[in-house]
Structure 1
Amino acid sequence: MDPIDSLIEGYRAFRAGTYSQNVERYRELGERDQKPKALIIACCDSRADPAMVFSADPGELFVVRNVANLVPPYEPDSHYHGTSAAIEFGVTGLNIKDIIVMGHARCGGIRALYESGQGNPPGGEFVSGWMSLANGVAEKIRKTHKNVPPEKIVRMMEMRSVISSLEQLRTFPFVREREASGELRLHGWFYGIASGVLSIYDPATDEFKDVPDAV
């Protein structure tokens, strides 16, 4: 089936199933302001959909997706800042209390960052510049893990870039102030696409710890 036709068929299935079974819920969502539980900064990778991973209903998550779930620094200038605008709106406009940076395994953006360090920069006009936000993470890992196999290096980059994004969030005054006052919490999570396992960053140990399955 043609990809576009398959999407239209998916829409029809949604209308006949999920929507028709929850009409009042959708009408309520359309008539009131949104009140999401959390802001999730995730990668635009098609295999790592936060709503699917967390079994979230419409209206529960305010999701910001970009290449490699990166957060740029606070730079209030006249340039275009899509991710920063979404963070600002989520925190100051929607008064969200939790921000989650969700990284994932086999991230194409992080792989491009690794390859750039090997002398193979990606083609195109935008990916390389965007991924330079994580150059510091990549360089530190390369220097401290010189004899580690490439796949392990990439995994470390994927995970440490989550922590770097948390640090970048704190360059935003409205994030830093709310976190300091206890009004806002920041979380670093990592999702294994093949394993389906979610790991949560523990700042006390500087490690990601797997979330156990329910008994």
Structure 2
Amino acid sequence: MHNLSPLPQYLTKRYHGWKATSYNENRAWFRRLATEGQRPRAMVISCCDSRVHVTSIFGADSGEFFIHRNIANLVPAYAPDGLQHGTSAAVEYAVAALKVAHLIVVGHTNCGGVAGCHAMCSGAAPELEEKTSFVGRWMDILRPGYDRVKELPEADQVPALEREAVLVSLENLMTFPFVRSAVEAGEMSLHGIVHDITEGTLVQAEDGGRRWVSV
């Protein structure tokens, strides 16, 4: 490939700063992770949004979280159809191979993906209905959530849909046989939270998503 470029200088400087401080001060820990492998306690599924930084929110160290990020923190329903499913593969590896004890879906406020889904489903974004739209076809996962909020006052629909993105993902996770088996055996628990990126607060779903309470 002839269209590759060196890293931007600001990233190079940050790397050297990390190597000289965090890495050198914890060299034994990083080598242990390399030789013994990872044993994360939790898998986190969060949005690609650069404003959502779950390792900072929870003060996580290297090796603590198995993290998968995608548009609007969505999980598709179980579909062993022979196609490529990045999110499903990540879930399978975390549950079946790493044996994580917790699987946490993290939504957030002001989510562009959720807003796009709302616009698409309400007819305001016909471009997302095109078969060639990767974002649109991905946001199809959230259509059941839109159906549950579309009768709310207009101003309340997108915030409610942000929570539905978490709930739909949790519902879909339970369609995976290995997830359901781990949950029913008490080997793993599911959690759903929404991060308010303005206020820095977290709310978590309880009672099957019928109510949300502050963390």
User: Aligned ranges for residues 129-168 of structure 1 at < 5 Å?
Assistant: 129-143=137-151, 145=152, 147-149=153-155, 152-168=156-172
Query: Under a length normalisation based on structure 2, what TM-score does the superposition of the two structures give?
Result: 0.91
Return the alpha-carbon distance in structure 1 between the equivalents of residues 202 and 10 of structure 2.
30
User: Aligned ranges for residues 45-124 of structure 1 at < 5 Å?
Assistant: 45-116=49-120, 117-122=122-127
Is the 1:112–1:121 Cα contact (8 Å) retained in structure 2? no
Give the AA of the match of 1:120.
Answer: A
Query: Under a length normalisation based on structure 1, what TM-score does the superposition of the two structures give?
Result: 0.91
Return the alpha-carbon distance in structure 2 between the equivalents of residues 4 and 190 of structure 1.
33
Q: Deviations over 1:21-44 (max 9, x none)?
A: 111111111111110010111111
SS at match of 2:190: strand
Aligned to 1:128: 136
SS at match of 1:12: helix
Give the AA of the match of 2:143.
Answer: N
Question: Structure 1 residues 122 and 10 mapped into 2: Cα distance closer, same or farther (>3 Å)?
Answer: farther
1:209 aligns with one of 181, 193, 213: 213
User: Aligned ranges for residues 3-18 of structure 1 at < 5 Å?
Assistant: 4-18=8-22
Runs (4+) off by over 4 Å:
none
Q: Where does the alignment leave 5 or more consecutive residues of structure 2 unmatched?
A: 1-6
Q: CA deviation at 1:204?
A: 5.9
Count of residue correspondences: 205
Q: Deviations over 1:73-118 (max 9, x none)?
A: 1011210010000100100001111100110111110010111124
Is the 2:106–2:166 Cα contact (8 Å) retained in structure 1? yes
Is the 2:105–2:169 Cα contact (8 Å) retained in structure 1? yes
Q: Where does the alignment leave 5 or more consecutive residues of structure 1 unmatched?
A: none
Aligned to 2:4: none
Aligned to 1:170: 174
